[in-house]
Amino acid sequence: MRRAIELAARGLGSTSPNPVVGCVVLDREGRTVGEGWHQRAGGPHAEVHALAEAGADAAGGTAVVTLEPCNHTGRTGPCAQALIEAGVARVVYAVPDPSPGAQGGARTLAAAGVDVEGGLLADEAAAGNVAWLTSVLHGRPYVTWKYAATLDGRTAAADGSSRWITSPESRADVHRLRAESDAVLVGSGTARADDPHLAVRKVPGAVQPLRVVVDTDAAVVRQGARVLDDAAPTLVAVADDAETTALQAALRTAQGTAQLVRLPRAGDGAPGLDLRALLGALHERGVRSVLVEGGATLAGAFVAAGLVDRVVGYLAPVLLGAGPQALGDAGISTLAQALRLTVNDTVRLGPDLRITAVCGAPRAAPAGGRPAQSDHLEQSEES
């Protein structure tokens, strides 16, 4: 199963809006005879790849898969039926499928006489599929806030200079994060200050994420902006009452695919857009994971709305003492209101430290049940 989880991770960034899935097929003697993972949306599922590699050796053997085999026909056929037709005698899966249209594969397999067991390494497998599970359970994308800062939390010096606080190793890792995300999002402050590009560079085979700029008053994105080139698609989100004549003219002359979406403003006199409406609009476009890269005001708004699921911080061994902070006003006035995270990964990248912490994530339920719902489910220097 751990091997299947490793295989599933190879599909990160290329299977949306579908889940990442890995499968290992063992023969009657318990020897690995087939491996596969879901490589792209609309393509064969993990089980199909693994069964094709196993061939006749799958008969009487065991299929180990990270997600309950699907039970429906979409762009591909049902994996439960493929396993039955291959003569597999036993199926072990990690996470039950909570999606209404695809669940029930375990029952179909059992009714055909296949020995079925669920729940093996369920939490590990769910962690690898957290974006898709969040979308199914909460109807919105999984949100990661990424920032790069000094040890004293500054994203730039007092004069605004920020290149480069972190190392080349950290900046390369940011492109890996982008490649694993369906959308990369910045606010108008970052767009104005940095003119960011937001595309993935130097990650072989990467599927370019949707570049999203929150330009509430349609006052920042103009002709010639780097996000309007043909490197990746772009979406500019504006308030539903914004004057967009100049913006629409820029979009018409864009080299690549660029679109505008109108959304309601944030309520209660708060600045910016309604972030839940923004995530809903992205979800409707098939976005299952969002990487928020900047800036501090936008990140603070996401935290205040309880919409940050994961934080990835790149900390450089540098002190500035003054300058912009990584996080803006998040509506937290006392220590009792602090959002406390769980650190689940620390990695050295050159001289820097990457810290990953989560605010809670969908956890897998025992086989046959639904995963429990979770409480939540910079100015970018790598622009």
What residues act catalytically?
47
Structure-token pair, residue 308: 């940050």
Amino acid at 85: E
> For residue 328, what are its two tokens?
């803006």
What is the DSSP track for 29-40?
A: TS-EEEEEE--S
Question: Are 53 and 86 contacting, i.e. CB atoms less than 8 angstroms apart?
Answer: no
Cis peptide bond upstream of 368, omega within 30: no
DSSP string, 199-229: ---S-TTPPPPEEEEE-TTS-S--TT-GGGS
Distance CA 34, CA 23 (A): 8
How far is the C-alpha of 290 from the C-alpha of 330, rounded, in Å? 19
Cis peptide preceding 164, ω within 30 of 0: yes
Strand-pair category, 258-263 with 234-239: parallel
Q: What strands, in cross-sheet order, belong to the sheet with 342-349?
A: 258-263, 234-239, 210-214, 183-187, 289-294, 142-150, 310-316, 352-358, 342-349
Angle between helical axes of 2-9 and 46-54 (0-180°, round to 10): 120
Instruction: Please give the helix or strand (H or E) that residue 187 lies within, else none.
Output: strand 183-187
Query: What percent of the residues of the chain are helix, what percent strand, and what percent coil, each to the nearest 5?
Result: 25, 25, 50
In angstroms, rounded to a whole number, what is the distance separating the alpha carbons of residues 243 and 223? 16
